[in-house]
Amino acid sequence: MNYFELFSFTPAYHIDTALLAERYRELQRAVHPDKFANASEQDKRIAVQRAAQVNDGFSTLKNPILRAEHMLSLKGVDLSHESTTVKDTQFLMQQIEWREELEDITDSNDPDACISELHDSFSLYAKQIEDNLSYLLADLSEDGLLQAADLIRKLKFMAKLQVELERIEDALFD
């Protein structure tokens, strides 16, 4: 299923999320199973399936990582069940450095400043990845798609680091 078509979007990494939400509400109203309460069992099942597709599509398109994976899958590159890891040594070294900084937060004299620095560092790095990813996802070459897949893997690492940072922040300040 092409979720971009379902929501009447041109496939692109950057989309208007407000418009996505608006179209989601419109589609939900059109296919909501409650509208088919008096319909045949088959029509009810179809309505449930369509509502599930709309929900899945909305979840996929509103999440930048899932959106990028969906774009790749539409081009024949499926990352959903892969176990390939990032091979970029520089990125892996940066990951180690960030993890060490995460571990040091609780022992820091100013954990708030450490958290703020890491938030900024993560955001800046992820922004650079996303800028490159947007360009590569528009590229239909096999090499461009493989590079895009590698950037998505990096974004997944960044998302995990962000979650870990938020967990540490919550533990310290709650």
Say if CB 106 and CB 113 are below 8 A apart: no
Predicted confidence at residue 14, as pLDDT, reads 94
CATH number at 98 reads: 1.20.1280
Q: Measuring CA to CA, which residue among 29, 21, 94, 95 is closest to residue 59?
A: 21
Looking from the CA of 128 toward its CB, the CA atoms found within 13 Å total 8
- Domain of residue 125 covers 89-173
* Mean of pLDDT over the chain: 91
The predicted pLDDT at position 32 comes to 81
Quickly list H helices, 75-141.
89-104, 111-138
Q: Give the pLDDT of residue 87.
A: 81
pLDDT value of residue 34: 78
Using pLDDT thresholds of 50, 70 and 90, give the confidence band for residue 46.
Answer: confident
Instruction: Give residue 83's pLDDT.
Output: 67
Residue 76 domain-assigned (yes or no): no
Domain count along the chain: 2
Give pLDDT, residue 23.
97
Whether 54 and 94 share a structural domain: no
CATH number, position 33: 1.10.287.110
pTM of the full structure: 0.85
Q: Give yes or no: residues 34 and 93 share one domain.
A: no
Taking the C-alpha atoms of residue 99 and residue 81, their distance in angstroms, rounded to an integer, is: 25
Q: Are 105 and 168 in contact (CB under 8 A)?
A: yes
pLDDT at 38 over 80: no
| Residue 68 within any structural domain of the chain | no
Q: Is residue 31 part of a domain?
A: yes
Segment 6-34 mean pLDDT:
93
